Structure 1
Amino acid sequence: MRFDPVTSEKSLLALLAAIVMLAPFAIDAYLPVLGIIARDLAASEALVQYTIGSFLLGLAFGPLLAGPLSDAIGRRPVLIFGLLGFAFFSLACALVINAETFVVFRFFQALMGSASLLAGRALMADVYSGDELSQKQSIIMVAAVIAPMIAPLLGGWVSSGLGWRYIFWGLVLGGLIAATVSMLRLPETLLVERRNPMAISQIIGGYLGIAQNPVAMMYLVAISFMSGAFFVYVAATPFLYIETYGMSVQAYAWLFTVGAFLAGLANFANFFVVKQIGYRSTLFWQGMLVIVCGIALFCGASGLFGRWAIFGAGLLMMPLLHVIGNNSLTGVMDQFDARKGTASAFAMSSRFASGMIAVAIVGQYNGSVEMQYGLILFVFAVLAGVTAQVAVCWDKSR
């Protein structure tokens, strides 16, 4: 099955949007019931929380093999196999009897899910490039920001009515439906003559080739700092806003929802701005704005502008980080005619690895929670903005 841009585009984007939503649902849907899961499995909450870390670890390591594999055998089989594997390990999570195996199954659930995510991104890069790729990714990312808004609500509703295990039964169903539709509708976009042998030397050579491209690496560094800033926000704000500032859990949930809504609007805006001035110029100005937000947030944490600067700058920064990551990924993909799967793998692994590092830094910092958040997020945000601008300047000068 080959890609027909006239008849296949809408169904392709809809399918990829659905696949992108699976990972946020797998992360966020069960968060409200972690305590219930811990009691049901007779385990500590700390042990059950390791299922979040193991899932992120799977998202970081999975692409490293899936990327070169998709460059060797095509996008379609990797994506379908990943969805089937995601469904299988979701089933294993639904039937788990102790927390230790739950942690292990969550790792493999993410490992398989990351293969489908990566193949989907590489597939888009086969079909689109440049500004058009950035615009299509903006459409897909709207789904990625909608999922975290509704996943905790659906997860809590399913758990209260049927039990927490049915959250994972729902993921089984979602994975199987996506795999079935992919088998019936998904085209293969990687021509046979553009494929690379699946050999250790070829895999290493592919990653070395990316590492030797300074423009691609600078875009990747921007993606890494962007991801670090995002995970600092996710890890630190519950403690800062609720424990330090006394915000209610309900108010924090609404604030998080507003941030996700703004991220969706930012992706819509990115679609139209890129159409007018191109993704490189758009990314340059987005980098400038995120630097300003980082400075304002740090000033708020230092007591100069007050906590409203922290709230406002944080709300504006999150949407900017989404579109910076989107446009930076387009910049990476545009550097390569072949090995787009490997390039996408490098980007995904860098993103989640830097996120884990950022969360670890937050946990080890010994200062006050307010200064911890302000200083670390300031550093990551400024570095994300600066490296994005440097990448654009280098790219335009080539």
Structure 2
Amino acid sequence: MTSLAEPQTTTDTTAASPGTRYVGRRYLQLVLVLGALSAIGPLTIDAYLPALPALSAEMGATDSQAQLTITGLLLGLGLGQLLVGPLSDAVGRRKPLLVGLAAHGLMSVLCALAPSIELLAVTRTLQGLAGAAVAVVSMAVVRDLFSGIKAAQLLSRLMLVVGVAPILAPSIGSALLAFTSWRGIFVVLAVVAVGLFVLALLALPETLPVVRRQPGNVRGSLRAYRGLFGDRLFVVMVLVSGLMFATLFAYISGAPFILQELYGLSPAEFGVAFSANALGLVVMTQVNPLLVKRYSPVRVLLASVTISTLGAVALVITTATGVGGFIGFMVPLFFVVSAAGLAFPNAPAIALNRHGEAAGSAAALLGSAQFMIGGAIAPLVGALANGTPVPMAGVILGASTLALVLFLSARRRLDAVSYD
């Protein structure tokens, strides 16, 4: 792969619009590199999901304790982004990314060696802190180069690459379990982190020029966050994005136990069922560029949160009554997860469009909200567990409904903003 980091001169006439340099093959390479980097998050979350029941049995842990290994990762991803965001605005994108990938590889090895569920939860949290750099930088690079509809379109293209991860990860995890344990899955994640480190080192340029960098101190970071929190529309988009992620994480945390223990699926069958829902998410992310061109990111996002809420209502009804059994559980979930595929590119694109001057900090708040809200809500599935899918369905409905209410509260002001 050729490097994207071609020398730039001060006479470059496209300097004011750096994204114009990324066309044709270079644009495709940018999508593939950023997508591969972004995929490490879903892989880290999803690859070991088929092993959760076996992990719980081996360590003598309850379902709730095992789910803490997911929660710890999500909280680490959330908190880490708040630190990495302003740092990347100050020192550039490449250094935090490379350090984060190296640390992720190390933490993956420590996860593989964890002797107890408590230590595994700790190492997973540290793994999340390391992975936060990848999440922040990938989104900040998009905003460094593009804005508005173009940013939404690029984020949609990234979701095609990112979407392959949740489709393949459970199946990969199931395949690995055929000849290794859950510890071997973490060894594979360490190898992936090393490979992505090499990819980033060779193929991803610095996209934040020195002249656009922000002060690298606590006061500068607080000033940047204060400005972001002062923008009501930005805050609404952050919360909507976080709540839509929460619907997905509620599903991720509950699905391994519900599908394998309640519906009796094997680890391999679980991988297929999980991938079927992820396929809907990927398809929607690829339809999204066409939709935003015709209807705008705001209208598409409204459709997303509405479909998610209606799907969640149907899910509560089918799980509470038992109508349809396994099919009655999977079909409404398909609509909920697919709707998320429209929310994930558009909510960040709308929010980042307003704050290109602090893209790292803005991306950090977005990413932090996604993982921290998801990390806070997901444990409710385990805490409310009663042997049925109803608690998971109720959590998904609550998150979707709140996202819809927040969006509608700011609808008029959102419609007044240009996203060209």
TM superposition score normalised by structure 1:
0.88
2:278 pairs, out of 260, 263, 266, with: 260
**Aligned counterpart in structure 1 of residue 364 of structure 2, from 340, 345, 348:** 345
Structure 2 match to 1:330: 349
Measure, in 1, the Cα distance between the counterparts of 2:345 and 2:372: 17
Q: Matches of 2:175 and 2:36 in 1, distance apart? A: 21
Counterpart residue number, 1:321 = 340
What displacement does 1:193 show? 1.7
Where do residues 344-363 of structure 1 align in structure 2 (5 Å cutoff)? 344-363=363-382
CA deviations 1:343-376 (Å, max 9, x no partner) are 1111111111111222233344488845434433
Aligned residue number for residue 32 of structure 1? 50
- Partner residue, 1:277: 295
Label 1:37 to 1:363 Cα distance change in 2 as closer, same or farther (>3 A). closer
> For the structure 1 residues 70 and 313, does the alpha-carbon distance in structure 2 shift closer, same or farther, using more than 3 Å as the test?
same
Q: Which residue of structure 2 lines up, in the alignment, with residue 184 of structure 1?
A: 202
Q: 1:237 to 1:183 in 2, by over 3 A?
A: closer
The residue correspondences of 1:182-261 to structure 2 (distance < 5 A) are 182-237=200-255, 246=263, 248-249=265-266, 253-261=271-279
Q: Which moved more, 1:81-90 or 1:360-369?
A: 360-369
Kindly indicate whether residue 60 of structure 2 is the aligned counterpart of residue 44 of structure 1.
yes
- Post-superposition shift, 1:256? 2.2
Structure 1 residue 340 displacement after superposition: 0.9
* 1:227 alignment partner, SS class: helix
Aligned to 2:186: 168
Q: How many residues align?
A: 395
8 A contact 1:130–1:330 mirrored in 2: yes
CA-atom RMSD in angstroms: 2.8
Q: Aligned equivalents of 2:155 and 2:94: distance in 1? A: 18
Which one-letter code corresponds to 2:60 in the other structure?
S
Q: Say whether the 8 Å CA contact 2:302–2:407 is kept in structure 1.
A: yes
Change over 3 Å in CA distance of 1:310–1:131 after alignment to 2: same
Higher mean C-alpha deviation, range 328-337 or range 352-361: 352-361
**Alignment partner of 1:397 is 2:416:** yes
- Give the secondary structure class of the aligned counterpart of 1:234: helix
Deviations 1:3-49 (A, max 9, x none): 64135322221111111221222222223334655677xx3234665
Asked if 1:90 is matched to 2:99, the reply is: no
Partner of 1:117: 135
- Residue aligning to 1:382: 401
Q: How many percent identity over aligned positions?
A: 26
1:354 and 1:321 mapped to 2: Cα distance? 15
Letter of the 1:52 counterpart:
I
Matched letter for residue 328 of structure 1: A
Q: 1:384 to 1:368 in 2, by over 3 A?
A: farther
Pair 1:22-2:43 in alignment:
no
One of 67, 90, 99 as aligned partner of 2:85: 67
Structure 1 residue aligned with 2:12: none
CA–CA distance in structure 1, aligned partners of residues 324 and 48 of structure 2: 34
Q: Is the 8 A contact 1:291 1:385 kept in 2?
A: yes
Residue 44 and residue 365 in structure 1: after superposition, are their counterparts in 2 closer, same or farther (change >3 A)?
Answer: closer
Structure 2 residue runs of 5 or longer lacking an equivalent are: 9-17
User: In structure 2, do the counterparts of structure 1 residues 380 and 102 end up closer, same or farther at CA, with 3 Å as the change threshold?
Assistant: closer
Deviation at 1:119, TM superposition (A): 0.7
Please report how far the alpha carbon of residue 62 of structure 1 lies from its aligned counterpart in structure 2 after TM superposition.
0.8
Q: Structure 1 pair 73/96, CA: closer, same or farther in 2 (3 Å)? A: same
User: What TM-score results when the alignment is normalised by the length of structure 2?
Assistant: 0.84
Q: 1:385 to 1:48 in 2, by over 3 A?
A: closer
1:49 and 1:318 mapped to 2: Cα distance? 20
Secondary structure, counterpart of 1:60 in structure 2: helix
Q: Residues of 2 paired with 1:304 and 1:167: CA distance?
A: 35
Structure-2 change in CA distance of 1:230 and 1:73 (3 Å): same
Q: Which whole-Å CA distance do the structure 1 matches of 2:257 and 2:236 have between them?
A: 33
In the alignment, is the contact (CA less than 8 A) between 2:135 and 2:367 conserved in 1?
no
Residue 5 of structure 1 corresponds to which residue in structure 2?
22
Q: Distance in 1 between matches of 2:371 and 2:152?
A: 21
| Kept in 2: contact 1:28–1:151 (CA 8 A) | yes
Letter in 1 for 2:161: A
Rounded Cα–Cα distance in structure 2 between residues aligned with 1:396 and 1:388: 11
* 3-state SS of paired residue (1:338): helix
The residue type equivalent to 2:332 in the other structure is A
CA–CA distance in 2 between the matches of 1:304 and 1:35? 24
Task: Give, in whole Å, the separation in 1 of the partners of 2:180 and 2:272.
Answer: 25
Change in CA separation of 1:65 and 1:301 when aligned onto 2, cut-off 3 Å: same
Residue 11 of structure 2 corresponds to none
Residue by residue over 1:274-323, the C-alpha shift from the partner in whole angstroms, topping out at 9 and shown as x without a partner, is 23322222222223333332333344455497666654322111110232
For residue 52 of structure 1, report the CA deviation from its aligned partner.
2.6
More displaced 10-residue stretch of structure 1: 362-371 or 256-265? 362-371
